[in-house]
Amino acid sequence: MSDNVPETKLTVSKRRWAEEGKFLTGKITRSETDRLPPGQHLVKNWPVLDLGQQPRIQPAEWALQIIGAVENPVKLDWDAFLRLPQSSKLSDIHCVTTWSRYDNRWQGVSTHDLLDLVMPKPEAKFVMLTSYDGYTTNLPLGDFASEDGILATHWEGEPLTRDHGGPMRLVIPHLYFWKSAKWLRRIDFLPGDQAGFWERNGYHMLGDPWREQRYTHD
């Protein structure tokens, strides 16, 4: 500390924050050691995980339906979806099967912009996601609305491939990746929580990797 400024608890922590770059970008700069949630290991490749059915959806047949407790229910075809504001997000993937993958660049429609369009009613507290392969998964509206949430059409600058959920998948990176529905076709806004596919099969209703919420009994 310089000159005559007395050292206090606050100056000490502020200096540490400066060294860590905390608050610089509006995001906490995690050190490499606390970037990996408990029980996870890092991979460089990108594994494919799903129920084994990878639907092939022609652009002319594709639609995203948004129903339930919203002021403005919509059914968007592919062109209407692409006309929504476009965003880009950088985030890490954490799969419940213990692999994590850092720094994935996504492009698409942020969940914020989608919520601006459909305007959830006050009673909307949860969303249920339904995909073209019949997969379902649930999450609280607040988690769906997270700053990093995106309905992604691109990964690393390229159209999302079919095995990873193309033409469009959800990405909610602060929860285990099973919440990030591939081939998304419908979003229901609900007043109460309902279990999706894995949640009915022993997996956690929320699935926060930082609290290691893998299974229902955790």
Interacting residues toward ligand MTE by CB under 6 A: 46-51, 95, 131, 133, 135, 164-165, 177-178, 180-183
From the list ligand MTE, Mo ion, none, pick the one residue 133 interacts with, judged by a Cβ distance below 5 to 8 Å according to partner type: ligand MTE
Cβ at position 41, least distance to ligand MTE in Å:
14
Of 8-16, 171-179, 184-192, 204-212, the segment contacting Mo ion by CB under 5 A is 171-179
In the list ligand MTE, Mo ion, none, the entry touching 170 (Cβ below 5 to 8 angstroms by class) is: none
Residue of the chain from 78, 126, 144, 178 that contacts Mo ion (CB under 5 A): 178
Residue 24 touches which of Mo ion, ligand MTE, none (Cβ within 5-8 Å per kind): none
Closest CA to 193 of 185, 182, 204: 204
Measured from the CB atom, the residue of 181 and 187 that comes closer to Mo ion is 181
Residues paired with residue 187 on neighbouring β-strands, in sequence order: 66, 129
Can you spell out the DSSP letters for 141-162? HHHHT-TT-EEEEEETTEEPPG
What are the residues whose beta carbons fall under 8 Å from the beta carbon of 164, sequence distance 6 or more? 46, 48, 155, 182
Q: Shortest approach of ligand MTE to residue 62 CB, angstroms?
A: 14
Residue 43 within binding range of Mo ion, rule CB under 5 A: no
**Residue pointed to by tokens 């309902």:** 194
**On the CB side of 211, how many CA atoms lie within 13 Å of its CA?**
12
Query: Of 33 and 45, which CB lies nearer to ligand MTE in the complex structure?
Result: 45
d(C-alpha 217, C-alpha 202), whole Å: 8
95 binds Mo ion (CB under 5 A): yes
Cα–Cα dist 213/195, whole Å = 15
With CB cut-offs between 5 and 8 Å by kind, which of ligand MTE, Mo ion, none does residue 182 bind?
ligand MTE
CB closer to Mo ion out of 69 and 184: 184
Per partner kind, with CB cut-offs from 5 to 8 A, the member of ligand MTE, Mo ion, none near residue 124 is: none
- Neighbour-count burial of 169, counting CB atoms closer than 10 A to its CB (0-12 exposed, 13-18 middle, 19+ buried): buried
- Residue 126: which of ligand MTE, Mo ion, none does it interact with, CB under 5 to 8 A by kind? none
SS3 38: coil
